[in-house]
Amino acid sequence: MPSKRLSAVLCGLFLAAACSTSEPAAVAPSTTAGEEALTASEALGEYSSLDYCSLVDQRKVIGGGNAVKPPLASFEFCRLEFVEGANRYTVTTGPITSGQDPNNQPYDYGGSLPEGVSVQQSTFNEDTTCTRLLTFADGIRLSIVVTSDNTAPADQAARCRIADATVGSAAGVIGARRVGRLNLDQRSWGRVAPCAPLDQHELDAAAGAETKPAPALSGHSCIRGKVSFSLSVGADTTPGATEALGGRQVQVTTSGAFCQVTTHRPIPGTPERVEQATLSVVGVDGAPEDATCAAAREVAVAVFPKLP
C-alpha cells in the first residue's frame, strides 16, 4: 500500500522498531471470569520487549487470502500484508497507547474477551480505514488498523471483518498466555532506551532548555520539546541522497513543519530488513525549512554517536 496513506493512518503515533524472530514467553497469568480485570502489563508483559507479531495468527486474520511477504515485526507494531481477491490489505497491530481520544467510541464486539477487556472503534478516517482498539482494564489500548488498496467506502465491511478477526487472534493469544518476546541481537537498537540520548545539554537549543525527555508507552520512542527520537524496523530499500552526520550515513527529509534525519543498521541474518533511528525536529511558526533542518542536523551529530 502507498506509504503516504499508511503514514496518514499512523499519524501522531511513534512508529519505530526492529524485530527479528520471536520467542514464546509466558507473561503474568491472565485472568478468567470471576477474577480481577486484566491490565495491559498482565496481558502483554514488558512493553519494550513485546513481539506484536506473536499476537497475529495469520490463518485467522488472512482466512482465504495469500500473504504478500513475511510480516514486518517492528519494535512497536506488526504489519501484515495479504491479497484477497483483487484487493490488497494491510493489517497493523500496535502500538499501545493511553489517554483520551475523542475519535474512540464504544464497539459491540461479538467475540469472547478476557475479563475486564473491551473493544473500541475509532472514527478517524473511518471511510477508508477500520480501526479497533483492544482496551485493557487500566485504559491502555492495543490498536489494530486495517487499510486496503481499494479505498472505496463499499470495502469497509471487508476491512472491519479483518480487523475483528485480528482482535480475536490477539485475544486468543493473550488468553492462552502465548504472547512472545522480541529476540534481539546484542547491538540491536531495540535495546536502546530512546530518552537517554536526548537527555544532554547539547540539545537545549533545538529542544528547549527547560524541556525534559518523555518516553512513549511502548518504550521505543521519546519526545523532548521540539525533538522526537524513534527506533524501529523497516524494509531495506535503496536510500536516496545521503550525507555523513554523527559518524553515520543519514537521509535528511522534510514533511510539513518537520525535518527528519534517519539512519539505518543492518539486522544480522535478515537481509530484507533494517533497524531505523529517526530524529525529528519541528519548526516554530514561520521558521524557514533550512533553519529547522540545520537544528535537526545538530541534534543528529549529538545523538547518533550514542547508538551501538
Where exactly are the structural domains of the chain?
A: 3-182, 189-306
- Shortest CA distance to 175 belongs to which of 34, 19, 44? 44
pLDDT for 259 equals 96
pLDDT for 145 equals 98
Pair 292, 282: CB distance under 8 Å: yes
pTM score: 0.84
Ranges of the chain whose pLDDT falls below 50: 1-33
Pair 170, 142: CB distance under 8 Å: yes
pLDDT for 20 equals 37
pLDDT tens-digit readout, 18-66: 333 344 333 333 334 456 799 999 999 999 999 999 999 999 999 989 9
Distance set, CA 59 to CA 38, 62, 68, 166 (Å)? 26, 6, 14, 10
